[in-house]
Amino acid sequence: MLKMLTVILPVVVGATTVIHDYISRKKSEEKAAATLIQSMMRGYISRKKSEEMAVAEKEKAAATLIQSMMRGYISRKKSEEMAVAEKSEKEKALADKLRQTKDDVSMLTKKVIEVLRELDKFHNTAAKKIAWKKLRTAYLEVKKRVEYLDESMNSACAKFNEGALEKAKHEEQQAQALWKSLVEDLSDQHMELVDKAKQTDHDLYEATRAMKDVMFIKIRLMCGIYGRITKQDYDVAMKKQCPPGFGLAEGSMGFGFYYRDSPNLPRDLQEDWQYIQDVACIPECSICLADACRVGEREVIETLCGHVFCNDCISDHMKRTIGNKGCPMCREPLEILSEEILPYGWSRYKLE
């Protein structure tokens, strides 16, 4: 009983120490990961709020600019309508004035013709010439005034139309410039928001990747600790099963019993000993499932990750694999003939 306690006690103490260290590392890693994620989330939320405030301000400025442009457009429309109405009134007044003047000239022309007919009745040639000269002068003056009035009216209409057209063109150019400036401003804001969104996604990806790495480290630590505890328990149990007079052969593939004086062993005991060796050889090639003890010591390979393969099977696997050449079972990185692939029976000393 004392010997059993002597064997078991170091195992229990070692397992307790390993578990305690694992729990301490796990707590520190979880705390660090939580702190990192909280800090990144706070930064993400702060950036989101600032981006939303900036977008709201820019939208407000754009709405104000659009309202101002609409008010200017409405004002210009009203001015144009008033100008058109004023133009129509002026054109109507000018047309009425021209028509009245033409009527007056026509009436005066008729009177002049009547006067000329009366003058034909005069017998005094000198008086007739004087009266004719006066009438002709008056007629030419009236005609000249009518032509000037017509020309002035046409020139005024042309200048009015030209001024209104130039004003409309100028206002249209101003509106187009304001609209172009608004479109460019909104395009710049859109590109800025796209860049900020990309940066936010990158930060979130980095936080997720850091959390994933922490999780992988935890899983590997946990598997390593549990594997060591299980191996220690298995070593103790196999040592207890060693028959009297036999020794315990410890190898990387498991345990086997041997008789210290096997050359002098009777035939029936040799057969029993061979049977025990066959039963004790538990591992098999993870690819072809062949009994590793029957393949031969030089043809069996055990990786540092704890898996056993035939030399031919693992070599074929490494030749067929492209890129990351890993263990066929757990994908741990491997290279042929490196320290991570060891002949059977060597790994125990290499691992220690």
Q: pLDDT tens, position by position, for the chain (352 residues)?
A: 566 666 676 766 777 787 778 788 888 888 888 888 888 888 888 888 888 888 888 888 878 888 888 888 888 888 888 888 887 787 787 777 767 766 766 676 666 666 666 655 555 566 656 666 666 666 666 666 666 666 665 665 555 555 655 665 666 566 566 656 655 665 665 566 566 656 666 666 666 665 656 555 555 555 554 555 555 555 555 555 555 555 555 444 454 555 445 555 556 655 655 555 554 444 567 777 765 544 444 466 767 676 777 778 888 888 887 666 778 888 777 754 433 444 444 333 333 2
Indicate the residue type of 345: G
- Confidence at residue 244, expressed as pLDDT on a 0 to 100 scale: 52
Measured between alpha carbons, how far is 90 from 15 in angstroms, rounded to an integer?
110
Beta-strand pair 308-310/341-343: unpaired
Whether 254 and 282 have beta carbons less than 8 Å apart is answered as yes
- Confidence at residue 339, expressed as pLDDT on a 0 to 100 scale: 37
Half-sphere exposure at residue 5, Cβ-oriented, CA atoms within 13 angstroms: 2
- Confidence at residue 229, expressed as pLDDT on a 0 to 100 scale: 52
Cα–chain center distance at 179: 29
Whether 318 and 340 have beta carbons less than 8 Å apart is answered as no
- Confidence at residue 21, expressed as pLDDT on a 0 to 100 scale: 80
- Confidence at residue 14, expressed as pLDDT on a 0 to 100 scale: 74
- Confidence at residue 253, expressed as pLDDT on a 0 to 100 scale: 47
Half-sphere exposure at residue 324, Cβ-oriented, CA atoms within 13 angstroms: 7
Q: Where are the beta strands (DSSP E) in the chain?
A: 246-251, 254-259, 300-303, 308-310, 341-343
- Confidence at residue 94, expressed as pLDDT on a 0 to 100 scale: 72
- Confidence at residue 236, expressed as pLDDT on a 0 to 100 scale: 54
